[in-house]
């Protein structure tokens, strides 16, 4: 995400902000080794209704890993009604008597597990499911949730308000879900540590297009409506799954073995060159030099016909507002593209490591300028940034309410520049490529990054990272 400039709920028209967060005190007791509800040996137990994320303790669910989501939905832009089913393939990681999914704001009419009707109940932002037969650890199983309703935005413990599926009345819709908005429109294990492949088929009335993640694998005419099927063969974190519905012109460039580039742009700004695909192709080539191979088969942007004041790196289809056309910002596009390596392919294990996403994406803006702007001096630019932010707020564990604050972005980028000047260009860029290769399509932590930096450079960087990431006073640049 690009630095936040005010609450979306106040700038996007026709949206509804409803607090749908469940309080932790509404959670059922969790069986645990030191609790008093320990099941007898061998008896299936409920899956944990949390993954214990330090910032979002109500998010995520334990006892299983999701392999694939197959969403078959229809959307009515006039009423905002979204309905259909989510088919979730998962593997049990323990013997399960019941389990939960994150889901809020929509009405569930049926749940099946392996084709058998299952008991379910909505509680807060959780859907608790009890299959007719307990699941054995290691078993693969399939859950189908049938649901309908108008998606309601959720508030967040983070400094972002209004997350989820934005209803733009007759204009269409879009999704902005980082960190915890995905479960406002599909039932899921809503945490980046459980990534899965995803297919989304969305039926919309004629005259609307659907931009999605990955490859457009099918378009079908259903007589008055049209179905758009998108497929992500590479795993994707739930918050990055984001179909956009609207009236779009589609721009495409085929480039042989290179990523297939496509933009979805409102007709009224289609001649303004927003997200110029020739520039995007050059940016990908440049970033491949420093970050390693582009991790996905496609890339592009969707331009929402509303002022957003932010942008979001949804996997292979970054989301920008109409201001990207009226106030072009190439660095914003560089930032969102860089997230495809940092955040999307290599994802967070816990949200408290958010600087691992935003630090590199912000530094990528400077790398793009360094590569393309004659006379640009990256040391001067970083020194100016250092003086400007003067920030004595460390980025390493900023707290949920500051996770999209200045320090995470700018001191995060300064940390990387200081590292580059400490270990030298060769080791620094080798580290970035080791990182994107080792944790490609996976998850990693700050500890993993510090360890990889030490390994690549042969330098003990413990004190360096402690000072830059965790101590109040910002160190001087080397
Ligand atoms: Zn960002």
CATH code that applies to domain 8-247: 2.60.40.1730
- Distance between Cα 123 and ligand 1 center (Å): 32
pLDDT value of position 256: 82
Domain limits, the chain: 8-247, 346-470
Report the pLDDT value the prediction gives residue 361, as an integer from 0 to 100.
98
In the predicted structure, residue 198 carries a pLDDT above the cut 80: yes
Residue 321, token pair as written in the block: 């507002």
User: In the predicted model, is pLDDT for residue 68 greater than 60?
Assistant: yes
The percent of residues above 70 in pLDDT, for the chain, comes to 92
Distances (CA, A) of 380 to 1, 104, 335, 386, 428: 25, 48, 20, 10, 19
Lowest mean pLDDT among 112-121, 150-159, 452-461: 150-159
The pLDDT tens digits for 213-254 are 999 999 999 899 999 999 999 999 999 999 999 999 999 998
Rounded distance from Cα 146 to ligand 1 centre (Å)? 33
What spacing in Å lies between the alpha carbon of 355 and ligand 1's midpoint?
Answer: 9
CA of 329 to the centre of ligand 1 (A): 14
CA distance 311 to 117: 41
Closest-CA residue to 103 (of 26, 20, 46)? 20
Largest CA-CA distance found in the chain, in angstroms, rounded: 70
CA of 357 to the centre of ligand 1 (A): 7
CA of 106 to the centre of ligand 1 (A): 29
Domain 346-470 has CATH 1.10.390.10: yes
Compute, in angstroms, the gap from residue 411 CA to the centroid of ligand 1: 13
Whether residue 210 contacts residue 243, with contact meaning beta carbons closer than 8 Å, is answered with yes
Spacing, Cα 160 to ligand 1 middle (Å) = 13
pLDDT digits (tens, 9 = 90+) for 368-403: 999 999 999 999 999 999 999 977 789 999 999 999
Q: Supply the mean pLDDT for the chain.
A: 91
Ligand 1 center to 337 CA (angstroms): 9
Mention every residue, 6+ apart, whose C-beta is less than 8 A from residue 242.
174, 175, 176, 177, 212, 213, 312, 314, 317, 319
The alpha carbon of 332 and the centre of ligand 1 are apart by a number of angstroms equal to 9
Six-digit token pair at 299?
Answer: 């890339």
pLDDT band for position 13 (cuts 50, 70, 90): very low
Distance from the alpha carbon of residue 334 to the mean position of ligand 1, in angstroms: 10
Q: What are the tens digits of pLDDT across the range 17-33?
A: 222 333 333 333 334 44
Expressed in angstroms and rounded, the spacing between residue 391 Cα and the centre of ligand 1 is 19
Q: How much distance in Å is there from the Cα of 358 to the middle of ligand 1?
A: 5
∠ Cα 392 397 400 (to 5°): 105
Tokens of 357: 């996403």
Structure tokens at 200: 């989304």
């Amino acid at each position: 995400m690009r630095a936040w400039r005010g609450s979306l709920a106040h700038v996007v028209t026709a949206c509804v902000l409803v607090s749908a967060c469940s309080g932790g005190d509404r959670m059922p007791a969790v069986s645990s080794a030191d609790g008093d509800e320990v099941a007898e040996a061998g008896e299936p137990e409920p899956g944990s209704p949390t993954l214990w994320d330090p910032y979002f303790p109500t998010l995520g669910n334990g006892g299983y890993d999701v392999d694939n989501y197959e969403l078959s939905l229809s959307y009515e832009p006039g009423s905002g009604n979204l309905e259909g089913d989510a088919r979730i393939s998962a593997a049990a990681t323990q013997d399960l008597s019941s389990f939960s999914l994150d889901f809020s704001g929509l009405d569930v009419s049926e749940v099946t597990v392996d084709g058998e009707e299952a008991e379910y109940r909505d509680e807060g932002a959780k859907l608790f499911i009890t299959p007719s037969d307990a699941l054995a650890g290691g078993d693969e199983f399939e859950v189908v949730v049938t649901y309908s309703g108008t998606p309601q935005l959720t508030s967040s413990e983070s400094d972002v308000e209004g997350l989820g599926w934005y209803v733009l009345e007759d204009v269409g819709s879009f999704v902005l879900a980082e960190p915890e908005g995905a479960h406002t429109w599909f039932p899921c294990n809503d945490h980046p540590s459980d990534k899965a492949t995803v297919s989304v088929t969305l039926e919309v009335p004629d005259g609307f297009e659907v931009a999605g993640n990955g490859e457009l694998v099918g378009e079908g005419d259903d007589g008055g409506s049209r179905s758009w099927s998108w497929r992500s063969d590479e795993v994707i974190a739930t918050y990055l799954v984001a179909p956009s519905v609207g009236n779009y012109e589609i721009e495409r460039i085929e480039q042989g073995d290179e990523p297939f580039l496509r933009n979805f742009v409102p007709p009224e700004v289609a001649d303004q060159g927003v997200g110029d695909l020739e520039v995007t192709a050059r940016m990908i080539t440049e970033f491949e030099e420093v970050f390693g191979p582009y991790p996905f088969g496609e890339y592009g942007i969707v331009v929402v016909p509303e002022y957003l004041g932010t942008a979001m790196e949804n996997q292979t289809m970054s989301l920008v507002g109409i201001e990207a056309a009226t106030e072009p910002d190439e660095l914003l596009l560089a930032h969102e593209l860089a997230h495809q390596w940092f955040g999307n392919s290599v994802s967070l294990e816990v949200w408290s490591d958010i600087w691992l996403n935003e630090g590199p994406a912000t530094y990528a803006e400077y790398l793009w300028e360094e590569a393309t702007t004659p006379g640009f001096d990256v040391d001067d630019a970083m020194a100016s940034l250092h003086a400007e932010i003067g920030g004595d707020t460390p980025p390493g564990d900023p707290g949920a309410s500051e996770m999209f604050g200045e320090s995470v972005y700018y001191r995060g980028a300064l940390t990387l520049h200081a590292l580059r000047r400490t270990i030298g260009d060769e080791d620094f860029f080798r580290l970035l490529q080791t990182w994107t290769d080792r944790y490609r399509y996976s998850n990693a932590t700050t500890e993993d990054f510090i360890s990889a930096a030490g390994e690549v450079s042969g330098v003990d960087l413990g004190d360096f990272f402690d000072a830059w990431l965790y101590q109040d006073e910002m160190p001087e640049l080397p």
